[in-house]
Structure 1
């Protein structure tokens, strides 16, 4: 359809919906005389009177009514087609390399990527998991998901959500050793700690509070590991009490495989960030990934703003 024909359809729709030449002129930013000339040209081209008009009356003729109703459908289809073409032209595509901590990557990010890839089949996605803090942009990653404030210079940082650390243990351990009644009681229990990679620093300062008072308990662990997954397994098997991210253990707490220790207290709050090198910030695939990941994470029920 020629541009002038499409324009005529839109013109006639505006004219009929305005209800008069004067009103149409105002809505189209023209003059009544120009609107009258446009209508006359259209009627001459079609060879039919489209509008019955005089000083007191303005209404579409029978032919004009049919033309108007069909014009509405044709213009709507054109607009829909153009919208779909524009969306397809800007659809995210290409490769997307995502880095994440092992446990969050496996249990939260991997399921999201499955759903995201079905929605965006033009994107080829790779998920790299590693112990927290080991990923960096020399690994050719487009987005790194990181717990705690990142320190990469020149990066674009987006806070996605927050979680908290909680004390937890298996029912078998608590049945065998008893339930701590206060933070200081942890010193008499078998506790399990993480060790920071590379430096082998023991993460044994457990911050525990009830909103009013906060204790920092220095744990002497019976077992420690650099792996959050191994620590999780040890807690499940009854080896002791762990200090875990709620997002890692919420399902075990819900199904009774683990029990909150000191349930009225919580540990430190940990933020989850997405880190991007500046050069990737405007990529459509990166923006689509983060735009859809944020509500997904927050709607899981254990991350919170």
Structure 2
């Protein structure tokens, strides 16, 4: 029987990623006994023990670690080669899983995905939303969109665009409380603040300024929440002044549902990044997604 070297590489990667023979067998759709026999044949062919295993332990030998790391590289290069060849003649297909922050994902990325999906009907797209786009690639995502530089070890990071925070409120609030004329007027108003999800720490230091002068305004909020969309809703309903990302409120500003406060000044600049795991080369579907996303977001509150 001829050896299937590439198949063995993929088999071993799946086995190690699963963490045990039984879990690896499940992921491969086979039995633990069959997986064990295949691993033994592979070790016999290589003349080396790859996995140190007993009833309680499943770990890589030094040779197994080397084989696993090289296997990742080889399989990724083969996948990349096949993807490049097929993508030159075929439209993106298969599954594409995307992670994004909640508000950006719902207001911007979800509508974009509708149009992108219509353009690529052979592609099945999954959108996962989490606060601030905090994901681990163990969530099996192909690309994560994140506001602010991520700290994912070893990930491939691409900057897509920038946005900024702006002060805004509804016309009804401005009519009731007047328009602030200076950053020092902001603390006198009803303010709406975010809190961090896990610690409930209050994010009440608002940076606002221009190229020559910047103020850090400390506010005491009348209302606060851990959810950015609730801040948005409160601002729309006239509850106070919000310090929002332009990409989240640009449409409401254009439609007059919100009013920009101190429009000659701007808040913190925030970059939008695409984060990809290092273990895979960029597939055709990911390349197509990011290629179409770049021009779209630059008309949607990004700079």
| The two structures share one fold, judged by TM-score above 0.5 | yes
User: Which has more radius of gyration?
Assistant: 1
Q: Deviations over 1:133-173 (max 9, x none)?
A: 43221222111100001110100101110111100011111
- The aligned runs of 1:284-303 (5 Å cut-off) are 284-298=284-298, 300=299, 302-303=301-302
- The 3 A distance-change label for structure 1 pair 88 and 281 is closer
For the residue of structure 1 that corresponds to 2:215, the secondary structure is: strand
Aligned residues: 219
Identify if the C-alpha distance between structure 1 residues 125 and 86 changes in structure 2 by more than 3 Å, giving closer, same or farther.
Answer: closer
Question: Structure 2 CA distance, aligned partners of 1:234 and 1:219?
Answer: 16
Aligned CA-pair RMSD = 1.6
Query: CA–CA distance in 2 between the matches of 1:174 and 1:157?
Result: 41
Q: Partner residue of 1:105?
A: 105
Q: Is the 8 A contact 2:97 2:142 kept in 1?
A: yes
TM-score (ref. length: structure 1): 0.69
Partner of 2:132, secondary structure, is coil
Q: Secondary structure at the match of 1:244?
A: strand
After superposition, give the CA deviation of every residue in 1:254-292 in whole Å (9 maximum; x if it has no partner): 111111111111101110001011123322211111122
5 Å matches for 1:1-305?
Answer: 89-298=89-298, 300=299, 302-304=301-303
Alpha-carbon distance in structure 1 between the residues aligned to 2:100 and 2:89 = 30
Counterparts of 1:291 and 1:168, CA distance in 2: 31
- CA deviation vs aligned residue, 1:57-109 (integer Å, no higher than 9, x gap): xxxxxxxxxxxxxxxxxxxxxxxxxxxx9657543221111011111111111
* Contact 2:165–2:268, Cα closer than 8 Å, also in 1: yes
The secondary structure found in structure 1 opposite 2:99 is strand
Q: How far did 1:187 drift?
A: 1.2
Q: Which residue of 2 aligns with 1:13?
A: none
How far apart are the structure 2 equivalents of 1:291 and 1:229? 27
Q: 1:87 to 1:180 in 2, by over 3 A?
A: closer
Q: Using the alignment, how far apart are the partners of 2:88 and 2:191 within structure 1? A: 54
> Are the counterparts in 1 of residues 160 and 274 from structure 2 also a CA contact under 8 Å?
yes
> Which structure 1 segments of 5+ residues have no match?
1-84
Residues 86 and 228 of structure 1, relative CA distance in 2, 3 Å threshold: closer
CA contact (8 A) 1:281 1:287 kept: no
- Separation in 1 of the partners of 2:167 and 2:92? 41
